[in-house]
Structure 1
């Protein structure tokens, strides 16, 4: 089971990884689902039981997609015999807490938002939630307006970020944050889907729109023209 935050997504996805007796981290193992699909790889601790030619984990720790690793905690296999189906009994709360602390550290190192803007975004989120309950078509129109605003501002911010990177002494951390933000903004400006009526929606709002009956979708499309 992986952990993610809304802010960082897959870039800081966390899992409970395995640690071998010598302190090293085993290679990912391939899981064959047996359904004719391609299967998938995992590095989660429960895959390393010592069976089927796989190494046996001596400990577990939080592992983040960015490369960060947490403290190692021992695994008592006497209490977790795989044949008894009790792998879920392992307490991974400490590993999760370590990953959560890591996310807090990452969040503090990112560019902070001004307090007044944070308050505005919080109020906007609440207003949109109420509007979704009271007038979902109006909420869709509001989302469309916000997406157009985000694309316009995101493009300008991405260009300004690239210009800032040409300054004489950008810090390594600032440069990395700038590249990440620029990539996100550029991605947001290009991720649009064209409806059959010619109105441009980004992918998230298009998925929301498709949940409504045809009559409601037609009204929403008319509102955004």
Structure 2
């Protein structure tokens, strides 16, 4: 199975709906995968050692070496539209987080990008390992294939993260039973945390194993 998660499209009708419909909910209410959030205030308080040990969270998944090296990119790069660009495209540009020059101090680092990608799994507790590389958007396009989005600058920093864990997309008919894909890779805008692209299952690119990556990477 080679499940497509979602791609950034040049169609104006879908420019602002990237990653919707696949179970990704950004912590800010925007599209994207969830960022990890802990709530210590709601954690149970136990006095006995056995209960304390049982409530200890499992160790985080291992971080694997990436088959792709980090490359030079720009956190605050924004696209430049032609003077005759459609007005709807200009409106989408103003409303899209990954088209904006955001505060670079709030950008995702490697650990945050991996945590976010791990949480996209249908069973995060079964994630074994993950690998990530920060690359410019045009390099991410080479990894995933497909056409570019006019809302994303080619030099903008994107985290490409591969996860060795189950992924069950929601783009199936109601009642249908589909086995989760074994492994997936997603692209996340480093500045905003928005999901830009993704593939899951057999044939998807993997930074962990090096499978299905462009040879020049």
TM-score by length of 2: 0.22
Structure having the higher strand fraction is 2
Q: Which has the higher contact order (CA 8 A, sep 6+)?
A: 2
TM-score by length of 1: 0.21
Q: Which has the larger radius of gyration?
A: 1
